[in-house]
Amino acid sequence: MTTGTARIPIASQNESVAEVVSTETESLLTLLRSFYFPEGEDSARLIREIATAETGSLQVSLGARATPFTAAQRTDCTRSSFVWEAHLNPGKVNSATVVDAYEDGHGRIAVKAIGVIPVKKFTGREVDVGELQRYLASIVLCPVALLNHTSLELQAAGPFTLRLCDRKDSTGAFVDLDLSKDGVPIGCRAQRPRLAGKQCVLTPWSTCGSEFRVFEGLRFPTRLEARWDFPDPFIYYRSQITSFHCVR
């Protein structure tokens, strides 16, 4: 039961966007910030972007062969924006490049053969929703957004669950971040658009991170997974972070 309210800055760089939140939300945010910023928040407030490199595998469907990839991602800490560029089957002549991105309020997915020849491109409302959800779930790699994102909204959606959305978004996209009782992020989940044939179908989706380390005062995971949880649950994305860089 809510016993009162407290005003805390979701975006500390601009006091005018501070949100009135419940004590449940405040308590969960305090736990989460304590986990992500073990050395304090002052130095983290100077970070504008997180740049990561990774290696892993993608599986397009249950039972399909996993495809290795290397990728780089740049995640904005001040607004909802990211670009993920992956090279599938790196080193092979027929390697493809996949770009997932959310910029200026819109998502896009593009596939290029040999890294340069356009093969497929997906845009539209469903892609906007899905790519924004991917950004919101990337809070695990970009916790500085908890401090510097000017339109990020977080509300308690359960005893140990925070719901994340962007106030500037008009699609209603959100993800739920589940925490342990100690404030350790367990994973994010949402109903996310999934391409099924020529249609997009809302499908239970979840992500998680593990093997956390501390670098430049931030705690971040070195291993990531994402899965579709219906109709046949399977992990379609496995990744290991090989480089983590804070841009100030």
**Least confident span in 6-10, 65-69, 133-137:** 6-10
Is 17's pLDDT higher than 90? no
Helix (H) or strand (E) holding 189: strand 185-196
At 94, is the pLDDT very low, low, confident or very high (cuts 50, 70, 90)? confident
Q: What is the pTM of this model?
A: 0.90
pLDDT at 3: 36
pLDDT at 21: 58
Contact 129, 136 (CB under 8 A): no
Q: What's the rounded mean pLDDT across residues 82-94?
A: 91
Q: How far apart are CA 128 and CA 29, in angstroms?
A: 27
pLDDT at 5: 34
Q: What's the rounded mean pLDDT across residues 216-223?
A: 96
Helices (H) and strands (E) counted in the chain, each on its own, are 3, 15
Contact 155, 175 (CB under 8 A): no
What are 50-71's pLDDT values in tens digits?
A: 999 999 999 988 899 999 999 9
Question: Torsion angle of alpha carbons 242, 145, 211, 214, nearest 10°?
Answer: 80
Position 189, amino acid: R
Structure tokens at 39: 């050395």
Q: Which CATH architecture has domain 5-247?
A: Clam (2.50)
Q: How far apart are CA 79 and CA 14, in angstroms?
A: 13
**Least confident span in 84-93, 121-130, 165-174, 178-187:** 84-93
Q: Between 16 and 85, whose confidence is greater?
A: 85
Residue 31: helix, strand or coil by DSSP? helix
Percent of residues, the chain, with pLDDT higher than 90: 81
pLDDT at 115: 72
Is 7's pLDDT higher than 70? no
Point out which residues pair with 247 in neighbouring strands. Answer: 49
